[in-house]
Amino acid sequence: MPKIAVTRWIPDEAVQVLGEAGEVEISPEDRPLTPEELRKFVAGSAAVVSMLHDRIDGSVADAAGPELKVVANVAVGYDNVDVSALADRGVVVANTPGVLTDATADLAFGLLLAVSRRLGEGERLLRARQPWSFHLGFLLGSGLQGKTLGIVGLGQIGRAVAKRAAAFGMRVVYSGRSAKPDFDGEFVSFDELLRRSDFVSLHCPLTPETRHLVDANALRAMKPSAYLVNTTRGPVVDESALADALEAGEIAGAALDVFEKEPDVEPRLLERDDVVLTPHLGSATVETRTAMAVLAARNVVSVLAGAEPLTEVGR
């Protein structure tokens, strides 16, 4: 039976699917493996089921050996995988698009509401047992109706966020590589999006071009009353520049589910009431995380059976 290396815990439903194709070995460590540990763990594997914190490059493929046929990344993004290096070694790379669209869009919109309506501040006040009383100026936030939401990257998740925004009476503009004729929203440049938007929500993949896409200049281009929401990949935002911008009052607030040096967070952001922070919960529902793992498992089973994966990267 071929060895299938799973770098961290996955739901039982996915393990059962993998069991149809080989001998499943799951890392006993409840943490990301070090590069050395990862190479040792995958040795002799025909398939690797990886997590977004695993750096899968040519050295990992070489450590797995010539039997390696497929790497199934349990995520939509695959910036942690050197797809070119694996392709050179005849290894297929698959990801898990589609199944986490609604969960991530829900979380993005939840963060938007949390930061604009100051929900974190209000909860912290109550949990600290601070005295308070209702009055018309108490913890005033920003409403959504009639406001403009700028979506950076109109993929499946970006479209799902736009759908939720429409239900709240928001206008939507978007930027990306090209206009989408089938989408009822205004296509604008990234610079114009920053200038016009009351809320900016990031949904672009992490590439060399989008690393630090939101830097000091981008933040200065936003309205002082605007909010930034990031549920895509942490390095799309320069966190130090974001802290500077908040300290200078250049934007009104930010909500982040992903971080530049995850799991670490820019310390200055942790101290601010105008920032909402969650620990990479975009896809964190039982249904979604199970569906992601099962899709990854089915990709493995398909490749080991000699067929094409269901969701191959680049196809």
What are the catalytic residues?
Answer: 233, 262, 280
Assess contact for 114 and 279: CB atoms under 8 A.
Answer: no
